Amino acid sequence: MDAQGHGRAGDIDPADQWVFDPNTGSYELRLDPAGDPAPASGNQDAGRPAGTGRRRARAPEHTRVPEPRGGRRRAAGKSPSEDAGGPSGPGGPGGPGGPPGRAGRRKPKPKRSKKRKILYWTGGVLAFLLVGTSVAAYLIYLHLNGNITTVDVGEKNPAVIDGPVNILVIGTDKRDGKGNKGYGDEGSVGHADTTILFHVSEDRSNATALSIPRDMITDIPECETKQPDGTKKVIPGSTGVRFNTSLGQSGRDPGCTWRTVEKITGLNISHFMMADFNAVKTISSAVGGVDVCVKRDIDDPKSHLKLSKGKHTIEGEEALAFVRTRHAVGYGSDLDRIQMQQQFLSAMMRKVKSGGTLTSPKKLWKLSNAATKALTVDPGIGSIGKLKDLAQDLSQVDLKHVTFTTVPVVDNTDGATVLLNKEKAEPLFSMVRDDVSLTEVKKQQKAQKAKEAARLKGTKADPADVRVRVLNGSGQFGAAQDTVEWMQNDEGMIRSSNGGNAPSELKKTTLEYAPNQADQARRLAASMGLPGSALKEGTKDADPMAEMTLTLGGDFKGAGTPITAPRKAPKDIQRVNGDDKLCAG
């Protein structure tokens, strides 16, 4: 046995070259044993005369580490506490007062405790689950992304925008595709059978859903479509035709319906979503059925809807029959069917928000899978990530502040179509354009009224003292000159002048004035029906002879026609609140 008790004569254990120095309180590498003190008690070399013990190999000169005198060599593998009185210290094996032993033997590696084993296993399982979940989430993302179909309509709007949001929802009567056969007119290219313009206010406090009758006679503007081979084709416009021909007819795509709705309402559309018959069936089943109510027994052989009077939970084919029926309700017109569709959609929205769908992974997966398979959208929302961002943005709207209404129409002489009721429709469109809610959003209305009142309150100048230059930013030819003539001849504002075209077109009319022209601004606002939001006051007073600047915007309807949107909806328009649980039929 060698001096360190490892059974390898002549070998040197490197661990024994580390020695604890009590003067410094740390361990040092001792390569030269010449100056070592006597080894610790229990060492087999104890008592050997200096120079007679086995010498360690001497390290090269440049690697030597100087050591202080008086250091005590520690047995390999021992901690300071063990040297001080642990198992190999005084009273322990190999120490003074204990049985002889090999002082240099390293301490065996401790066995892992049961608790630590559990922690290791738990950590491994968690790591596996995290990786597995990440992979699963990625695969789900790819799957849902692959479900979505996009159509490039020439618009590049981001998924989430500042300001109001207008989403065009199109339900097509296309008969092609799995599950769509058997509804008649097989092979139809599909028309704009159900069209709803969903407007969400800028502050996300309310929303208005405008249903557009498919049989309304209107003009369809020229539109550019993108062909499958990447080329572009311009589809000529049509005058005096049914609205539903804005899609499908003559190769028109959703972009043509998009432009037609913008022309009718004066609203700028942000995105579109289109779905066929399958969407109603699959989505209604995915949410576990939709709760509806009918006023009387319904038996429609054409839509195959058969329901008794009262409440029902419907899904699949029965849900599709519900939104298609019209012959067994009301007067059997498309307008009666629109009311059925509005009740169904509001009920489905309530189900999604309150039925645990959004908190149940299983239900959420079914809904997401069904919805993405059913949808065709514009590229701005053409991925699951973009759709999620849009949904989160719109989810701020409370259902009790969502109003479904129908564009006002009057019967046409042919008895089969309808015409736009301009007298009622224009005030309604104006309210939506100006973000005026059809529901009672008290907080919003109170703040808006206070803001407008502050700008319009005060004395008004005499019309003859109003000095204003009128610029045309409305896009309407001759609007500035028509307005100046109306001001001078009808309103007595003889100091008004035509400033020509504005540098660019504006969406809304504005009136810029100096603080010392406030009375003139109030007079002009009262005459033109300008809202308080149109008044832009400067910071410095102007010269007494200076003119204010009135820039006509896209909301300009004609000289003498008030620009301010009404604060209340026209009487007798049909509407359903998103939180109302009414019975249709």
Give 233-271 pLDDT, tens digit per residue: 999 999 999 999 999 888 899 999 999 999 999 999 999
Mean pLDDT for 143-160 is 88
Helix ranges (H only) for 375-517 are 384-394, 422-433, 442-456, 479-490
Angle value at C-alpha 548, between 544 and 551, nearest 5 degrees: 170
Residue 135 is assigned to a structural domain of this protein: no
Residue 411 is assigned to a structural domain of this protein: yes
312 and 388 housed in the same domain: yes
Residue 344 is assigned to a structural domain of this protein: yes
Q: What is the pLDDT of residues 447-460, one digit of tens each?
A: 666 666 666 778 89
264 and 389 housed in the same domain: yes
Q: What is the pLDDT of residues 190-244, one digit of tens each?
A: 789 889 999 999 888 889 999 999 999 999 999 999 888 889 999 999 999 999 9
Residue 267 is assigned to a structural domain of this protein: yes
- How many of the other CB atoms lie within 10 Å of CB of 194? 24
Tell me the backbone φ, ψ of residue 527, rounded to 5 degrees.
Answer: -70, -40
Residue 133 is assigned to a structural domain of this protein: no
230 and 346 housed in the same domain: yes
pLDDT score recorded for residue 175: 55
Helix (H), strand (E) at residue 527:
helix 518-528
3-state secondary structure of 456: helix
371 and 399 housed in the same domain: yes
55 and 188 housed in the same domain: no
Q: What is the pLDDT of residues 412-471, one digit of tens each?
A: 998 889 999 998 898 899 889 888 888 765 555 566 666 666 667 788 999 999 999 999
The span from the CA of 403 to the CA of 346, in Å, is 9
CATH of the domain at 455: 3.30.70
The pTM (predicted TM-score) of the whole model is: 0.60
Spatial CA neighbour of 8 closest among 54, 65, 48, 40? 54
pLDDT score recorded for residue 57: 44
The span from the CA of 351 to the CA of 362, in Å, is 15
457 and 414 housed in the same domain: no
Largest CA distance in the chain: 131
pLDDT score recorded for residue 274: 92
Mean pLDDT for 538-555 is 93
161 and 79 housed in the same domain: no
pLDDT score recorded for residue 182: 53
- What are 311-318's contacts with CB under 8 Å, separation 24+? 313/289, 314/284, 314/289, 314/290, 315/281, 315/284, 315/285, 315/288, 315/289, 315/290, 316/281, 316/284, 316/285, 317/281
Residue 571 is assigned to a structural domain of this protein: no
Q: What is the pLDDT of residues 159-184, one digit of tens each?
A: 998 889 999 999 887 655 555 555 54
DSSP 272: E
CATH of the domain at 207: 3.40.630.190
The span from the CA of 75 to the CA of 44, in Å, is 12
Mean pLDDT for 367-381 is 88
- What are 368-373's contacts with CB under 8 Å, separation 24+? 368/144, 369/143, 369/144, 369/147, 369/286, 370/279, 370/282, 370/283, 370/285, 370/286, 371/279, 371/283, 371/286, 372/144, 372/145, 372/147, 372/148, 373/147, 373/278, 373/282
The span from the CA of 341 to the CA of 145, in Å, is 28
Q: How confident is the model at residue 473 (pLDDT cuts 50, 70, 90)?
A: very high
DSSP strand pairing (575-577 vs 548-552) = unpaired
pLDDT score recorded for residue 195: 93
Tell me the backbone φ, ψ of residue 226, rounded to 5 degrees.
Answer: -100, 125
Q: What is the 3-state secondary structure (H, E, C) of 99-134?
A: CCCCCCCCCCCCCCCHHHHHHHHHHHHHHHHHHHHH
Domain range for 515 is: 445-552
285 and 338 housed in the same domain: yes
349 and 324 housed in the same domain: yes
The residue written with tokens 């229990």 in the block is 42
Q: What is the pLDDT of residues 388-412, one digit of tens each?
A: 888 888 888 888 888 889 999 999 9
Spatial CA neighbour of 255 closest among 175, 168, 318? 168
Helix ranges (H only) for 152-273 are 254-265
3-state secondary structure of 33: helix
Residue 508 is assigned to a structural domain of this protein: yes
| Structural domain ending residue among the three candidates 433, 464, 493 | 433
